[in-house]
Amino acid sequence: MTALAGRTALVTGSNGGIGSEICRVLAEAGATVIRVDRAHDASAVEGCHLLDVTDEAGWGTLAEMVAREYGALDILVHNAGVAVTGRLEDTSHAELRLSLAVNLEGPYLGTRACIDLMRRTGERRPHGASIIMISSIMGLVGGAFSTAYCASKGGVHLLAKAAAVEFLSLGYPLRVNSVHPGPVQTPMVDGIMSRYVEMGLYPDIASATRAMPRPLGRMTSPADIAKAVRFLASDDAAHITGTEIVVDGGYVAR
């Protein structure tokens, strides 16, 4: 498949379970992929660029590098995220601020830093450029023990919509959409399961994992998310902006 041949894509949180699969699928579709991750994870992949997505100046430096070395940015995938889990009364202000900073401020700062380059790139493409924000089903529905996470991912949902409407009103050739995964079998979800066990909600991780929703008989996979991203990045989604794709096997449709 070469649906993204000649396109340049930047993916944050590129070395995690979902991020690495997004990178693989976009590259398989022909895109040149710029991998971006925080210092702790970036050393695991050669050529990965270091970035704390909450660093405004860091985003500016990265955008300048992409413009200088690649000359274009067709696809921006905001995938970096953290999951703060716990009772509301036990969630500290610092944990709330971390969730909002990484999950919501990161996409905001990154989008702002890349607007000019993506607008210029989009003007050279028949169907413009594409920004894709990875939210969550918890950005659509409430979830116990996830108040900070829900708040941040709900913000991502409306950030994508508001940016899409604004860019339309300005005539920018930039589409913005969000993807909302259900529970995905990744190290992040494994960490959530461990936290549930620590809280005494389940006797062990195996029990916690079995309790996760599987409407179609299995948990959502990283590949499910990556394929949705590939679609939104492609010309097949040329008339889609300001909306969300829910990839959860039908969980929130109940």
Report, as residue numbers or ranges, the catalytic residues: 149
- Which stretches of 43-105 are DSSP H helices? 56-69, 93-100
- Count of residues making up the chain: 254
Find residue 9's DSSP bridge partners. 33, 75
Burial of 194 (0-12, 13-18, 19+ CB in 10 A): middle
User: Does residue 215 contact residue 179 with C-beta atoms inside 8 Å?
Assistant: no
228 vs 226: CA distance, rounded Å: 5
172 vs 168: CA distance, rounded Å: 6
Residue 78 host element (H or E):
strand 75-78
165 vs 110: CA distance, rounded Å: 18
Backbone angles phi and psi of 245, in degrees to 5: -110, 120
DSSP state of 184: B
Residue 166 host element (H or E):
helix 147-170
Q: What is the identity of the amino acid at 225?
A: I
23 vs 27: CA distance, rounded Å: 6
